Structure 1
Amino acid sequence: MEEPQRGIRAAYTASTITVYQAYSPEIGLPAALEGRFPDMWKRDRMTWVKPSFLWMMYRCGWGTKAGQETIVAVEIARDGFEWALRNACLSSYAPGLHSDRDTWQSQLKRAPTRVRWDPERDLRLQPVPYRSLQLGLSGEAVRRYADEWTVSISDVTPLAREIHALVSSGNQDSADRLLPKVRPYPAEDRFMAHLHP
């Protein structure tokens, strides 16, 4: 079956969806240990979450980039995730979707969340012909994410290292079997139509 050009592919349950982030060990390890973000985690800045495990691996270089050595899987409430989608604005201007650039900029300033569609990645972190969602949270959305939506936080750095080692040694089939199992997320048009340029 052909992948849609833009879609949310994620690991999810009836009530939660898993997103990924990468932090320094000073933030990531306590977050995973306590199941919540530590006091040093900044609530006053935008934080980006990614339902795509492989896009996160691309972004953090399998946990080798400075300040991104600890990769966490954050299980959040689906109703929170869907609130974020309903209240999001695209991070870039889309002429067919926004009436004009000024209107888009005004929406972007007001929106507590923003969406980017970036090329999905394969096991070698090469781009594939379809895009996956990144979700930026700011202001009210950051507070809700940390205090209301987060169900659990786990350290998936060892998993990332194991998959990376298998890929590096040419054992792609074994690496593929270890990937988190994802499927298309049932995002309804009523909270996604404004996010498809």
Structure 2
Amino acid sequence: MSAAREVRADFDRASIVVYQAYPDAIADVAVEQQKFGPPFSVGRMTWIKPSFLWLMHRSNWGSKSGQERTLAVRIKRSAWEEALSLAVLTSYEPKVHGTQQAWREAFESAPVIVQWDPERTLRGAGLPHDSIQVGLSRAVIQRFVDDWTVSITDLTPLVRKLRKHLDDGRADQATRLLPKEAVYPVPPEPARRLGM
């Protein structure tokens, strides 16, 4: 039995926040223009994640090379749901795809791919429910940049403060500062496609 799959996110009626980690050159342009621009590449896949702690685990609290800056990218909920409705899982699941052949064909032409990984605690330990990562291919990245993005906020100062609290053994203070996330109501059809 696999872990429970849930999308937990910071969202409101119109939008949802996804997190990304970038080097200064990309983050500076994105924050200043409130839109991704060169050196951000629309020619390669970009991953968006609604789980703040999963990204912290991945970027080692902004200390990995090229992932020093943490951005909160607020996108339209309609765009998020469209992305999920176009998504194909990164690995074959009989209940979702039927045959391996059907999955392979769908995956090769998928504009969006989804991977599930264990959600993380503040200290990086795995939790019993999975967190979603959504990979946007070249087919949709331009729309992500031009139409989907509502705002871009630099959370790097917050990440540094959280990391200092953790280093100083003040996990309770760090927990209070975390972005609020709640279970997101994924519509039935995308939920089925994503093996939820």
TM range (shorter): over 0.9
Identity of aligned residues (%): 43
Instruction: Give the 5 Å matches for 1:97-176.
Output: 97-176=96-175
Q: Is residue 29–residue 70 contact of structure 1 (8 Å, CA) maintained in 2? A: no
Deviations 1:136-155 (A, max 9, x none): 00022211111100000111
Alpha-carbon distance in structure 2 between the residues aligned to 1:169 and 1:47: 34
The equivalent of 1:68 in structure 2 is 67
Q: Name stretches of at least 5 consecutive residues in structure 1 with no aligned partner.
A: none
Q: Is residue 25–residue 70 contact of structure 1 (8 Å, CA) maintained in 2? A: yes
118-127 or 32-41, larger mean C-alpha shift: 32-41
**Which amino acid counterpart does residue 114 of structure 1 have in structure 2?**
I
Alpha-carbon distance in structure 2 between the residues aligned to 1:193 and 1:99: 12
Instruction: Give the 5 Å matches for 1:1-197.
Output: 5-196=4-195
Alpha-carbon distance in structure 2 between the residues aligned to 1:194 and 1:27: 32
SS in 1 for 2:97: coil
SS in 1 for 2:173: helix
**Which amino acid counterpart does residue 136 of structure 1 have in structure 2?**
G
Q: Name stretches of at least 5 consecutive residues in structure 2 with no aligned partner.
A: none
How far apart are residue 125 of structure 1 and its match?
1.1
**Which amino acid counterpart does residue 38 of structure 2 have in structure 1?**
D
Deviations 1:158-177 (A, max 9, x none): 11111111112111111000
How far apart are residue 77 of structure 1 and its match?
0.3
Q: Structure 1 length normalisation: TM-score?
A: 0.95
Alpha-carbon distance in structure 2 between the residues aligned to 1:147 and 1:48: 16
Alpha-carbon distance in structure 2 between the residues aligned to 1:190 and 1:129: 24
Alpha-carbon distance in structure 1 between the residues aligned to 2:165 and 2:38: 36
How far apart are residue 96 of structure 1 and its match?
2.3
**Which amino acid counterpart does residue 47 of structure 1 have in structure 2?**
T
Q: Post-superposition, which runs of at least 4 consecutive aligned residues in structure 1 deviate over 6 A? A: none
How far apart are residue 40 of structure 1 and its match?
1.6
15-24 or 97-106, larger mean C-alpha shift: 97-106
Alpha-carbon distance in structure 2 between the residues aligned to 1:193 and 1:100: 16
**Which amino acid counterpart does residue 45 of structure 1 have in structure 2?**
R
